[in-house]
A and B are shown apart, each in its own frame.
Chain A
Amino acid sequence: MLILECPYCGVMADETDLHGGGEAHLKRFGPGSSDDEFETYLFHRKNPKGVHFERWRHVSGCGKWFHAARNTMTLEVYGTYPAQTTEPPKELVAKIKKKHPEWGGYE
């Protein structure tokens, strides 16, 4: 079972206490944007084999949204961090890079 540490309340939350929210750090587009921009924002996803930055909500706990870095091939969790950011923390990216030198990094 997937276990993520909620960065707000500190609980090691089981998968059943959480709700997945899909890819993190999407660039949002609003009124006046082009069809292509809307398509990218609404539908295009990285869907990587490997390191994935994603949103989770601690639904059966504190109810807060947070972010996690997880490997989609091994289900290994690299870390979690609060949602108030538009990109993953540099330390976390460095930590993953150190572990998987072949990983292309966050773009």
Chain B
Amino acid sequence: MRRYSAFAIAREAARYHTGWERAWRSPKPKKKYDVVIVGAGGHGLATAFYLGKNFGITNVAIIEKGWLGGGNTGRNTTIIRSNYLQDPSAAIYEKARSLYETMSQDLNYNVMFSPRGVMMLAQTEHEVRGYERTAHANALQGVKTEFISPQRVKELVPIMNINGPRYPVLGALWQERAGTARHDAVAWGYARACSDMGMDIIQKCEVTGVRSENSVVTGVDTTLGQIDCDKLAMVVAGNAGHLAEMAGFRLPMESVALQALVSEPIKPCIDVVVMANTVHGYMSQSDKGELVIGGGTDGFNNYTQRGSFHHVEETVRALVETFPIISRLKMLRQWGGIVDVTGDRSPIIGKTPLGNCFINCGWGTGGFKSIPGSGWAMAETVAKGEPGPLAGEFGLNRFTEGRFIDESVAAGVAH
């Protein structure tokens, strides 16, 4: 792999950009791999990357039914934060956030991590108490957050109306080193690094069945034929339930649509990420100047990758109230992603009832921000056969044992 650098740009500029090579190979699948990872989204690719980097396992195939990073990796609002209430969540999300800090250097690929700060508005007394509690919990967990006053909110975001008629801003939970990154670049950067380690990324290859002998996985059937493996990792987000059914078990999970939209581009007007959970809206400004807006999930099972229109209305109404200057903006695009939501709104990482088959799913609305941490924890689980300290609490068995990591109350709607 040729390294990207300022020198490389100068070199290629001098020879009309004829020397750039493809970022990753697209090989035909081999008969057998040590590890097959189903799903080449951020989480699947990150799992592969840390399998190679931390454990030296490189005889790995990552198979993907669509194209690389074409699912939720490219459908989110790119927010990265780790201000969670529960210890296991804060640990894995903070691991992810800290890995994002050096990701561009680690991958030699600019993922445009921008630690611009994330603010979660408290607009009811209940939220003020909740976020103060979270700030205290974060202090104990070693995650740097603080509860800030409405005046400080106004200083950070001058375009915000903090004296709104319905929900005045009473304060905010502020994480200074949280922010955004370029979502596609995260998938591309991992893919390039994985391909460089000799791993095979096989796109347009759908899994049609899971093979097993004596309750131990032996391979998968795909649209490109049978691929054998010693270990199988399912990292397919919203389609996890479908894949689990092929492997003969069920998941405590449901798939719903979550949508986002972007406005026409305008001059820079907001340089932090603002989340307003009471009114269901969050917003940041992309480098192109578009306002990136996220809303709530639909209340019914859905695989259609589009959301209900009335949610767009609710989200935009809430944001216009909070940011009056955006009232005349036109919205350019709207899209939906399928999020896999578990009973306690926390992910599942760990073993499955099928031997040597591991699962990573249920990230729900918190998928993008967790990519490196999730990959790190999943790689450890796959390599050792047992979940490590980061993944330990997130096993499937927590639903049998009633040992929930209850973030649905802690984090409001948007994760």
Contact = CB atoms under 8 A, between A and B. Distances in A.
A7 B234 CA distance: 41
Interface in B275-300: 298-300
Interface string B304-329: 10001110000000000000000000
A44 B362 CA distance: 13
Interface in A19-39: 19-20, 22-23, 35-36, 38-39
A22 B303 CA distance: 15
B344 to A, nearest CB: 9
Interface of B: 239, 241-242, 250-255, 298-304, 308-310, 342-343, 399-402
Given A22-B254, A47-B241, A73 B310 contact: no
Contact of A73 (B253, B254, B304, B343): B304
B304 A43 contact: no
Nearest to B250: A44
A22 to B, nearest CB: 7
Given A19-B299, A72-B302, A36 B400 contact: yes
A70 B309 CA distance: 19
Contacts of B304: 72-75
Nearest to B299: A20
Contacts, number: 67
A2 B302 CA distance: 12
A72 B399 contact: no
A44 B301 contact: no
A45 B298 CA distance: 17
A68 to B, nearest CB: 9
B246 to A, nearest CB: 12
Contacts of B303: 49, 72-73
Contacts of A44: 250-252
A23 B254 CA distance: 9
B301 A15 contact: no
Tell which of A43, A47, A49, A72 has the most Cβ of chain B within 10 Å.
Answer: A47
A36 B402 CA distance: 11
12 contacts: A1-B309, A1-B310, A20-B300, A39-B252, A39-B400, A45-B241, A45-B253, A47-B255, A49-B239, A72-B302, A73-B304, A74-B304
Nearest to B340: A47
A66 to B, nearest CB: 14
Contacts of B402: 35
Contacts of B309: 1
B300 A35 contact: no
Contacts of A54: 300-301
B402 to A, nearest CB: 8
A70 B304 CA distance: 12
Nearest to B241: A47
